[in-house]
């Protein structure tokens, strides 16, 4: 594959500063070399321009930084669309999870029936109506299916993801109204309970069936907080009881083997909260697994 790396140093969607340094941390961990070792060609377009929060004066509590997020999302959507036009595999490095708005909006311009694999401790299925925090990184999935505030939906041009084609892996905390909405959404949620109960191997087999059924592309959105904070301490909204490092690798190795994924994003890596770039290294290694790395 020709992997095209797009850095999005955006932290407007999250409460904690520092996640804007995620792309640097993941590159610093040797991402390019790891991907070349697997045999991929790597193109890195660098980071998209993102203005710093210090340069603005507005201070909303509801839909925080929506204007900035939408602006960056529109640029990201175009960058993703362009890499698909050139037959590249888009690899987006966040940044917080609000960037998925731009990623998915771009993917939908080429894949009209997109399947989505969402690895996360959280549901990210809040709207401005249900969010307790007002942080947009808790809203990208709801936005991608066409729910929530019209402003956030601008990059989608009226095309959304069918919720039945969304599969979550690793979920272990939801806000009350978010859980209620998700229950009726049609999305499949493999929470930690299902992973404990059936094992990652069976969960991934089911997940692959769902996202490949009548779809024309599959996006893998990996929030590093899906992995237990024991292994991924560098993220802003950690939650215990998560995937082990090995479970995460297994999931992504199984995906590489199935060769169904057409784009990937790695988000919420926060070097400020990390221990010597441990989480950045984990993220780089997980990306390599998803793109075919094997020990032997």
| Site for Mn ion, rule CB under 5 A | 97, 120-122, 124, 157, 223, 225
CA distance 59 to 70: 16
Whether 180 is catalytic: no
**Sign of the Cα pseudo-torsion (228, 170, 223, 202, in order):** positive
Which H or E element spans position 191? strand 188-191
Cβ at position 122, least distance to Mn ion in Å: 4
Say if CB 138 and CB 118 are below 8 A apart.
no
Whether 44 is catalytic: no
Q: For the chain, how far is it from start to end, CA to CA, in angstroms?
A: 20
Whether 157 is catalytic: no
Q: Which of 11, 96, 124, 128 is catalytic?
A: 124
Residue 272, classed as helix, strand or coil, is helix
Among 71, 137, 165, 172, binds ligand ARG (CB under 6 A): 137
Cβ at position 90, least distance to Mn ion in Å: 18
Cβ at position 124, least distance to ligand ARG in Å: 5
Tokens of 112: 């009209």
Q: Which is nearer to ligand ARG, 120 or 253 (CB)?
A: 120
Q: Which is nearer to Mn ion, 110 or 206 (CB)?
A: 110
Q: Which is nearer to ligand ARG, 172 or 249 (CB)?
A: 172
CA distance 12 to 236: 12
Which H or E element spans position 180? helix 176-183
Where in the sequence numbering do the catalytic residues fall? Answer: 97, 120, 122, 124, 137, 223, 225, 268
| Residue ranges binding ligand ARG (CB under 6 A) | 97, 122, 124, 126, 131, 133, 135, 137-138, 175, 223, 225, 237, 268
């Amino acid at each position: 594959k020709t992997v095209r790396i797009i850095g999005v140093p955006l932290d407007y969607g999250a409460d904690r500063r520092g996640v804007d340094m995620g792309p640097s941390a993941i590159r610093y961990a040797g991402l390019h070399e790891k991907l070349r070792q697997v045999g991929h060609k790597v193109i890195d377009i660098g980071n998209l321009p993102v203005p710093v929060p210090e340069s603005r004066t507005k201070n909303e509590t509801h839909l925080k930084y929506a204007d900035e997020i939408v602006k960056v999302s529109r640029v990201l959507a175009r960058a993703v669309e362009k890499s698909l036009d050139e037959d590249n595999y888009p690899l987006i490095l966040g940044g917080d999870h609000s960037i998925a708005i731009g990623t998915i909006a771009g993917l939908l311009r080429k894949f009209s029936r997109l399947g989505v694999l969402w690895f996360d401790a959280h549901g990210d299925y809040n709207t401005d109506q249900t969010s307790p925090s007002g942080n947009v990184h808790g809203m990208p999935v709801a936005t991608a299916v066409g729910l929530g505030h019209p402003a956030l939906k601008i990059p989608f041009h009226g095309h959304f993801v069918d919720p039945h084609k969304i599969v979550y892996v690793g979920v272990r905390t939801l806000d009350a109204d978010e859980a209620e909405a998700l229950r009726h959404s049609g999305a499949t949620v493999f929470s930690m309970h299902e992973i404990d109960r059936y094992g990652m191997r069976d969960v991934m087999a089911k997940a692959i069936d769902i996202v490949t059924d009548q779809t024309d592309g599959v996006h893998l959105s990996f929030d590093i907080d899906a992995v237990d904070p024991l292994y991924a301490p560098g993220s802003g909204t950690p939650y215990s009881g998560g995937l082990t490092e090995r479970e995460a690798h297994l999931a992504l190795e199984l995906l590489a083997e199935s060769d169904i994924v057409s784009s990937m994003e790695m988000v919420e890596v926060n070097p400020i909260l990390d221990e010597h770039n441990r989480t950045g290294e984990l993220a780089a290694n997980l990306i390599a697994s998803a793109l075919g790395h094997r020990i032997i």
